[in-house]
Amino acid sequence: MKIKLLISILILLTILGGVFYYYYPRNYNTEFDELITENGEYEPDNAIDIIKLLLDVQKGRQQVRDEFLLKLSKNQNAIGYYSNVILANSYNIKNKDAEEFYETALELYPTNDVRFNFALFLEKNNKREKAIDEYLKILPQERALQKLIDLKVDDEIICKALVETNSWETIIKFTEPEIENNFVMKKYYAQALFQQQQYTKAIPILETLYEHNQKDSDVGWWYGRALELTEQIEKAKEIYSSIGTKGAYRLGILLENEGNTSAALEAFSSSDEAISLWKAARMQEEAGMKETALETYIKITEFESSYQDDAAYRGYILSKRLNKNTDDLINILSQHPSWMKRIQQDYSWDDVVDIKYEKPEFLEMVELYEENGLEEVSEIELSIGSKFASVEEKLALGDWYLEKGDIYWSVVWGLRSLNDKPNKQGYKLAYPRPFEEYVKKAADKYNIDPHLIWAIIREESYYRADIISWAGAIGLMQIMPATGQDIASRLSMTIEDSDLTNPEINIEFGTFYIRAMLDMFSEDTDKALAAYNGGPGNVSRWSNSVLGTTKEDFPTAITFFETQEYITKVKNSYHIYKWLYENE
């Protein structure tokens, strides 16, 4: 009997031991002790083992003393990130101060899950305002929104945060129950309807808001625009007129469409927006008011906007013709190779330096993690390394992406290095020569400088062969399907639209088209590029306008601002390509 009882006890202990072993984590402090030094340093070869141990700890499959994690938490990499996340959770459970670990983890690699847990920790520790700030950053996530509601956060604070993330559907859902007696919520509701293009539904609400406070120019602008988009033009003009400079540009457009030029000019001139002042300056020129136009162009150059360089160029032309000083205008133009070449002055590359650099350790680790099947760790390591990259490391990142065949991200990192310091290597990354065989073949066939082809590819697609624009343009040189079919017919080819993602076909078709535009406009590159972007019919119209009769004046005659910008961007790239590669 005693033997049977003993056997039963042994069996029970064995079962309990198995359960304990399965459900309770093992302690591998010895392994950490062998992998890291007293200062938390470790050999790169040990990183894989450390990461695997940290992942096991994070999943609760084993335990480790905080002292080891504290040593590793100072690392600005994936190991440091996981160490801080584990410490944050551990300290939180133990009711110890985990704030520093949460903040460090979020600084290294922000995720919504870690931020939400941080907010819960702050809320638990009576740090309400800080918790609210963290919940706001996670919007429009439902769990964060519910927490903010539970904390009785002011509705307007929530709405402002939702606006920042363009969470219009969430705003509609959140504000709709409150709009009857709450004008603040009604305003956000109306804005969301407007942004969702629900103009008919938005108009009566906007009308109520406008009547309640006619000084609210935001409401007035949404109201006027919604009326305009539903073809209630007279009412829209009335509203635009009532909100001053905020409505001036749209009012000017409507008056110009009606042929009321003098009233349109008055409206455009009264605005403080660059787009409106640009329209005013062109109209002043067309009316022969050169002195007034020059003053308006100079006004545009006094603040940063996408019109600043165009206005500086036109101001320079008028200043020359009126025998006025051009120094300030040249200072603006000197930042752009295209404009300096256009006014027949040299662009300076004197501040461009050479930078020595090597492949950084974090990229070695990215590859090592990836090779070992740790894709998520690899992604985190890359994100952290990229976030804190020096100019040398940005160049190395550009090389790394280029080796992987990812030209787009190689260009991005080249540009980021240039933002830190103008350097030759960064320019070569930002202005590469991919698809060289196809570009040179097309250049020879159609007698076009290959650097111009690369410049067009760069500005059209950033070298992405499979990109499709919102308008349906396809591939490297953004060929519209109908244009592609027409070119194929002229070249005695039969293609499917999908063939335009083939770099060889796309480059030949794009080069064929730019050659056709150069032939049509007597080798005038400005006009050919304008036709490539805005259509040959529009170029003919601009060329025959009051402002477009000479090569010097043509850029200002273009009424599509996108096309104006396009010419400058392509020619800037073209001149950079010539500088980088012409003597190689």
- State the burial class of residue 520 (Cβ atoms within 10 Å of its Cβ: 0-12, 13-18, 19+): middle
How many angstroms separate the CA atoms of 406 and 364, rounded?
Answer: 18
Mean pLDDT of 131-139: 98
Q: Would the pLDDT of 185 be above 90? A: yes
Per-residue pLDDT band for 137 (boundaries 50, 70, 90) equals very high
Q: Are 272 and 249 in contact (CB under 8 A)?
A: no
Q: Would the pLDDT of 41 be above 80? A: no
Buried b (16+ CB within 10 A) or exposed e, 462-496: ebbbebbeeeebbbbbbbbbebbbebbeeeeeebe
* Residue 132: alpha-carbon gap to chain centroid: 27
Q: Would the pLDDT of 318 be above 50? A: yes
Mean pLDDT of 90-100: 95
Contacts 24+ apart (CB under 8 A), 417-422: 417/355, 417/391, 420/390, 420/391, 420/394, 421/353, 421/355, 421/391, 422/351, 422/352, 422/353
| Cα angle 170, 174, 175; round to 5 | 120
Q: Considering the chain, what percentage of its residues have pLDDT values greater than 90?
A: 87
Nearest to 229 by CA among 206, 208, 246: 206
Q: Are 483 and 512 in contact (CB under 8 A)?
A: no
Q: Would the pLDDT of 23 be above 50? A: no
Nearest to 276 by CA among 284, 268, 286: 268
Per-residue pLDDT band for 6 (boundaries 50, 70, 90) equals low
Q: Would the pLDDT of 364 be above 80? A: yes
> Which single residue is written with the structure tokens 């290294």?
108
Nearest to 274 by CA among 303, 314, 240: 303
Residue 76: count other Cβ atoms within 10 Å of its Cβ: 15
Mean pLDDT of 362-391: 97
Q: Are 433 and 422 in contact (CB under 8 A)?
A: no
Nearest to 281 by CA among 470, 557, 528, 527: 557
Mean pLDDT of 506-530: 97
User: H/E/C letters for each residue in 318-357?
Assistant: HHHHCCCCCHHHHHHHCCCHHHHHHCCCCCCCCCCECCCC
Strands 26-27 and 62-63: parallel
Contacts 24+ apart (CB under 8 A), 525-532: 525/452, 525/571, 526/551, 526/554, 526/555, 526/567, 526/571, 527/554, 529/456, 529/566, 529/567, 529/570, 529/571, 530/554, 530/558, 530/563, 530/566, 530/567, 532/456
pLDDT of residue 332: 96
Q: pLDDT digit string (tens) for 237-272?
A: 999 999 999 999 999 999 999 999 999 999 999 999
Which helix or strand (DSSP H or E) is residue 26 part of?
Answer: strand 26-27
AA identity, residue 476: L
Q: pLDDT digit string (tens) for 266-283?
A: 999 999 999 999 999 999
- State the burial class of residue 522 (Cβ atoms within 10 Å of its Cβ: 0-12, 13-18, 19+): exposed
Which helix or strand (DSSP H or E) is residue 518 part of?
Answer: helix 503-520
Active site (annotated) includes residue 460? yes
Q: Would the pLDDT of 181 be above 60? A: yes
Q: What's domain 436-581's architecture?
A: Orthogonal Bundle (1.10)
How many angstroms separate the CA atoms of 498 and 474, rounded?
Answer: 8
CATH 1.10.530.10 range(s) for the chain read 436-581
Q: Would the pLDDT of 25 be above 50? A: no
How many angstroms separate the CA atoms of 490 and 532, rounded?
Answer: 18
Average pLDDT score over the chain: 93
How many angstroms separate the CA atoms of 406 and 412, rounded?
Answer: 10
CATH 1.25.40.10 range(s) for the chain read 22-152
pLDDT of residue 584: 72
How many angstroms separate the CA atoms of 43 and 32, rounded?
Answer: 12
Nearest to 276 by CA among 257, 313, 251: 251
Q: pLDDT digit string (tens) for 403-451?
A: 999 999 999 999 999 999 999 999 999 999 999 999 999 999 999 999 9
pLDDT of residue 448: 97
**Peptide bond preceding 503: is omega within 30 degrees of 0, i.e. cis?**
no
- Cα dihedral 104/110/114/115 (nearest 10): 90
Q: Considering the chain, what percentage of its residues have pLDDT values greater than 70?
A: 94
Mean pLDDT of 164-185: 94
Q: pLDDT digit string (tens) for 440-498?
A: 999 999 999 999 999 999 999 999 999 999 999 999 999 999 999 999 999 999 999 99
DSSP string computed for 550-570: STTTHHHH---HHHHHHHHHH
Residue 529: count other Cβ atoms within 10 Å of its Cβ: 27
Tokens of 404: 């992987």
DSSP, res 474: B
Per-residue pLDDT band for 29 (boundaries 50, 70, 90) equals low
- Report the topology of domain 22-152: 1.25.40
Catalytic residue among 43, 460, 562, 565: 460
Mean pLDDT of 343-354: 90
> Which single residue is written with the structure tokens 């070119």?
487
pLDDT of residue 409: 97
Which helix or strand (DSSP H or E) is residue 27 part of?
Answer: strand 26-27
- State the burial class of residue 184 (Cβ atoms within 10 Å of its Cβ: 0-12, 13-18, 19+): middle
Rounded to the nearest 5°, which phi and psi values hold at 27? Answer: -110, 115
DSSP string computed for 157-189: HHHHHHHHTT-HHHHHHHHGGGTTT-HHHHHHH
Q: Would the pLDDT of 523 be above 80? A: yes
Q: Would the pLDDT of 18 be above 60? A: no
Mean pLDDT of 172-188: 94
